[in-house]
Chain A
Amino acid sequence: MDAIALIAWHVFKDGARSRTLVSLIGFAFALFGVSLLIGQLSAGQDLKIIKDIGLSVIELSGVLMAVLLGVGLVAKEIEKRSIYPLLARPVRRADFIIGKYIGLVATLAINVAVMTIALYLVLAYIRWVTPGPVRLSWEAPALDPSIITASLLIVAELAVLTAVSLFFSTFSSNVLWSTLFSLGVYVAGSMSAQLRDLAAAVGSRAAGVFSQIVGVVLPAFSAFDVKGQVVHGLSVPVPFVLMTLGYAAVYSAAVLVAATVVFSRRNFE
């Protein structure tokens, strides 16, 4: 347990000092500024646009961080051989994987929290400069608490994606391939709902079987996307949120078990 906590803390420190993280946060804040500008140009729609762009930026920057930092978690240690003295300690390989995972998910969660606070500050500013009668026409309040729900589901989505990136990095020492595989899974997983609809529309048995397999194997990233509801002031039911969080926990645990099995058998030549 001590080893897991130490490894996680080390990943967190590494992430906090990483140039990738700093540049992505900078990029995200620049996009917040752009959303503010676009919002002011589109009369009456500003709040929706800012919420939509804001949440999309939080998700996109989180996805890039989860993949870019996630694939390097193990692959970089193997490539640079810094893993040798580490695994020569009384550290179980499973502890190494779990520690790395917890460290990166904690980094991503804090990053999402900081960006959510920034989004709320932008929305508070819009609320402050908007006259009372205009505010009455808004579908949802500016400081809508359901933004926190959307951010929580983004963290859950990133936890799943981090597990997937970590899994690829346990058997491929090539960071580029791991990055491409992880992004591929993210894109396919984000389209899992459309794939199922397509299979139903085609109506063939083979397409149905294919969509079933895709549905089980690929993470259903589309389930984590509640931006539409939040932007339009529709409620996100609590049972749905709990089920989605449960799905993220089970899927991540399964991928981490697979990553640990692969990593435990690995030779470091």
Chain B
Amino acid sequence: MTDVVRTERLTKDFLTGFWRPRPKRALDELSLSVPHGEVFGLLGPNGAGKTTTLKLLMDLLRPTSGHAELFGKNVRDPKSRRRVGFAPEQPYFYDHLSANELVQYFAGLSGLKGADRIAKANAALDRTGIGGDERRKPLRQFSKGMMQRVGLAQAIVHEPDLIVLDEPMSGLDPIGRRDVREMILALRDEGRTILFSSHILSDAEQLCSRVGIMACGRLAKIGPLAELTATASLEDVFMEAVR
């Protein structure tokens, strides 16, 4: 199978301290590949380097060293993101727009035009459970959970082959979490590749075919979920990896 995501010794240092800035390693030589059609969960405690990894893949951060590719193209090339949808953690969008306008705007930025743009925006909003009246309200009236749904809608509006989700369950109530879980499984069944970060192990257990457990910027463990949990629970495997 072709690798949709591939990183090679990807490293990121951040400078910390005002007077004498010193490098602090957030990601340490991450080598990872995610093949087509896989649901891959990047697990780890807070500060493990999950979000840094996703931001490097989206070219929001520039690596200190190493290399990252999407669909065989360097992530520095904007064309590498043509077939990618990204939903950041706890997203914020423009207050003055309605959900409809926002999703159409992002659809346009992904190259959709005219009637196709409107139809796909409606489909994405339907899929994320944002109803007819709600999609016309300005986003400033939306709750955190609704905003998370809008974030997912903009990520899937252009029917991307790779969907990258940073903590997609964050801020959602139990119903919202169930809806998102079902949506991810439906996207998987459509043959899309999904890469998501989470620190909620039950979500990973229900969704992932393969997981990587990160700790202190390093990939401590990686493998198919069934293999990793053959002799111990995911929680035990996780605790052992992050210790």
**A residues at B contact (CB < 8 Å):** 2-3, 6-7, 10, 13-14, 17-18, 80-82, 84-92, 265, 267-269
Is the C-beta of B174 less than 8 angstroms from some C-beta in chain A? no
Measured in the bound complex, the distance between the Cα atoms of B5 and A176 in whole Å is 40
Q: Chain B contact residues (Cβ within 8 angstroms of A): what range?
A: 20 to 34
When the two chains form their complex, are residues B55 and A85 in contact, meaning their CB atoms are under 8 A apart?
no
The smallest C-beta distance from B152 to any residue of chain A, in angstroms, reads: 11
Given contacts A86-B109, A268-B55, 9 further A-B contacts (CB under 8 A): A18-B96, A82-B94, A84-B60, A86-B106, A87-B60, A89-B110, A90-B81, A90-B110, A269-B14
As a 0/1 sequence over residues 1 to 33 of chain B, the CB contacts with chain A under 8 angstroms (1 = contact) are: 000000000000010000000000000000000
**B residues at A contact (CB < 8 Å):** 14, 55, 58-62, 78-82, 84, 86-88, 91-94, 96-97, 105-106, 108-111, 113, 151, 154-155, 164
| Complex: chain A residue closest to B57, CB-CB | A88
When the two chains form their complex, are residues B108 and A6 in contact, meaning their CB atoms are under 8 A apart?
yes
The smallest C-beta distance from B166 to any residue of chain A, in angstroms, reads: 9
| Complex: chain A residue closest to B14, CB-CB | A269
Question: Hey, which chain B residues are within 8 Å of A81, CB to CB?
Answer: 88, 91-92
The smallest C-beta distance from A131 to any residue of chain B, in angstroms, reads: 49
Question: Hey, which chain B residues are within 8 Å of A3, CB to CB?
Answer: 109
Question: Hey, which chain B residues are within 8 Å of A2, CB to CB?
Answer: 108, 111, 113
When the two chains form their complex, are residues B151 and A85 in contact, meaning their CB atoms are under 8 A apart?
yes
| Complex: chain B residue closest to A80, CB-CB | B92
When the two chains form their complex, are residues B78 and A268 in contact, meaning their CB atoms are under 8 A apart?
no
When the two chains form their complex, are residues B94 and A87 in contact, meaning their CB atoms are under 8 A apart?
no
When the two chains form their complex, are residues B61 and A89 in contact, meaning their CB atoms are under 8 A apart?
no
Q: A92-B78, A269-B14 are in contact. Are A82 and B93 (CB under 8 A)?
A: yes
Question: Hey, which chain A residues are within 8 Å of B82, CB to CB?
Answer: 90
The smallest C-beta distance from B112 to any residue of chain A, in angstroms, reads: 10
Question: Hey, which chain A residues are within 8 Å of B91, CB to CB?
Answer: 81-82, 84-85
Measured in the bound complex, the distance between the Cα atoms of B86 and A82 in whole Å is 12
11 residue pairs bridging A and B, Cβ less than 8 Å apart: A14-B96, A80-B92, A84-B55, A84-B58, A87-B59, A88-B60, A88-B86, A89-B81, A90-B78, A91-B78, A267-B61
